[in-house]
């Protein structure tokens, strides 16, 4: 079973049933079912994009309610298009969920062995979800073109290995983001990939100065090179820019738009 749509109440989301079966809550939200006004309509979960905070908090409450998780058991990092990864513990529960001031600074990747839910925000950038069965840990990462060029997936897997896990055992999911159908980039971006990858088959030249970039394949390449098994990588292959009814898209809508949430949590069963 690969990625699947589910609906609870007014909330639609994508999930992976086989991860759920292992006791890992995983979800990627849509723009549908919230209270935010245009241009953040309606289920904007990002506090940092200029939306009315009251609306965002109402939306976040709906999101957490459907996962049956209190505000105090969620952690949010400040996303800066970097590749820092941080281990989150019990004490980080509640950070960044009600206000920006308490957000964990400058971390685009979060991992945990606790039951604190990890939440990150997306509107075209690639959500990477991780489950490490051998050390019972989960992770989430935000990889736009910069994070992808600098191999964010590898950084998360290095964190796992330092903690005693093995990449060969890792499960990784690549969620909705801008696809190779829509993501035009210029020579400067292409050059960053050429500097960091031996082969750049995920760049497709369109004219003298432009390429279509397949961020899904670039991330998958990084994961495979680090030892993740192909059968343990689930790519949803759903483009955010192509689906205005379901998703916000920075490339399509411009800077004033909302954010979907990526969500992962290790459900500790008694």
Q: Which is nearer to Zn ion, 106 or 181 (CB)?
A: 181
Q: Is 265 helix (H, G, I), strand (E, B) or coil?
A: strand
Name residue 266's beta-bridge partners.
24
Cross-sheet strand order for the sheet of 184-186? 184-186, 210-213, 203-205
Please give the Cα distance from 203 to 82 (Å, whole number).
Answer: 21
| Residue whose C-alpha is closest to residue 151's, from 218, 106, 203, 212 | 218
**Any idea which residue has 């976040």 for tokens?**
60
Number of residues that bind Zn ion (CB under 5 A): 6
Q: Which stretch binds Zn ion (CB under 5 A): 3-11, 27-35, 51-59, 237-245?
A: 237-245
Please give the Cα distance from 223 to 232 (Å, whole number).
Answer: 10
32 lines the binding site for Zn ion (CB under 5 A):
no
41 lines the binding site for Zn ion (CB under 5 A):
no
182 lines the binding site for Zn ion (CB under 5 A):
yes
- E-state strands within the chain: 4-8, 11-15, 24-29, 74-76, 85-88, 109-112, 117-122, 126-132, 137-143, 171-174, 184-186, 203-205, 210-213, 233-235, 260-266
239 lines the binding site for Zn ion (CB under 5 A):
yes
242 lines the binding site for Zn ion (CB under 5 A):
yes
Please give the Cα distance from 59 to 168 (Å, whole number).
Answer: 37
237 lines the binding site for Zn ion (CB under 5 A):
no
Please give the Cα distance from 8 to 66 (Å, whole number).
Answer: 7
212 lines the binding site for Zn ion (CB under 5 A):
no
Q: Which stretch binds Zn ion (CB under 5 A): 3-11, 123-131, 201-209, 241-249?
A: 241-249
176 lines the binding site for Zn ion (CB under 5 A):
no
Q: Which stretch binds Zn ion (CB under 5 A): 50-58, 79-87, 234-242, 256-264?
A: 234-242
Binding mask 124-163 for Zn ion (x = CB under 5 A): ----------------------------------------
241 lines the binding site for Zn ion (CB under 5 A):
yes
179 lines the binding site for Zn ion (CB under 5 A):
yes
Q: Which is nearer to Zn ion, 122 or 171 (CB)?
A: 122
181 lines the binding site for Zn ion (CB under 5 A):
yes
CB 94, CB 71: distance < 8 Å: yes
213 lines the binding site for Zn ion (CB under 5 A):
no
Interface contacts to Zn ion, rule CB under 5 A: 179, 181-182, 239, 241-242
């Amino acid at each position: 079973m690969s990625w699947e749509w589910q609906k609870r109440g007014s909330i639609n989301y994508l999930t992976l049933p086989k991860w759920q079966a292992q006791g890992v809550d995983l979800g990627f939200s849509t723009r549908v079912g919230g209270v935010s006004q245009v241009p953040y309509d309606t289920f904007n979960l990002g506090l940092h994009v200029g939306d009315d905070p009251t609306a965002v908090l109402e939306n976040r409450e709906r999101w957490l309610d459907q996962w049956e998780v209190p505000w105090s058991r969620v952690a949010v990092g400040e996303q800066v298009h970097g590749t820092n990864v941080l281990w989150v513990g019990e004490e980080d529960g509640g950070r960044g969920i009600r206000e920006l001031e308490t957000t964990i600074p400058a971390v685009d990747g979060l991992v945990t062995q606790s039951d604190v839910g990890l939440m990150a925000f997306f509107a075209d950038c690639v959500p990477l979800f991780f489950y490490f069965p051998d050390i019972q840990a989960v992770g989430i990462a935000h990889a736009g073109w910069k994070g992808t060029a600098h191999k964010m997936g590898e950084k998360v897997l290095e964190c796992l290995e330092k903690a005693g896990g093995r990449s060969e055992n890792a499960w990784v999911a690549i969620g909705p983001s801008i696809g190779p159908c829509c993501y035009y980039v210029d020579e400067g971006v292409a050059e960053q990939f050429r500097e960091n990858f031996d082969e750049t088959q995920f760049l497709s030249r369109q004219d003298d100065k432009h390429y279509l970039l397949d961020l899904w394949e670039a991330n998958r390449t990084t994961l495979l090179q680090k030892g993740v098994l192909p059968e343990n990588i689930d790519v949803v292959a759903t483009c955010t820019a192509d689906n205005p009814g379901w998703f916000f898209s920075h490339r399509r809508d411009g800077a004033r738009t909302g954010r979907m949430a990526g969500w992962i949590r290790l459900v500790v069963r008694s």
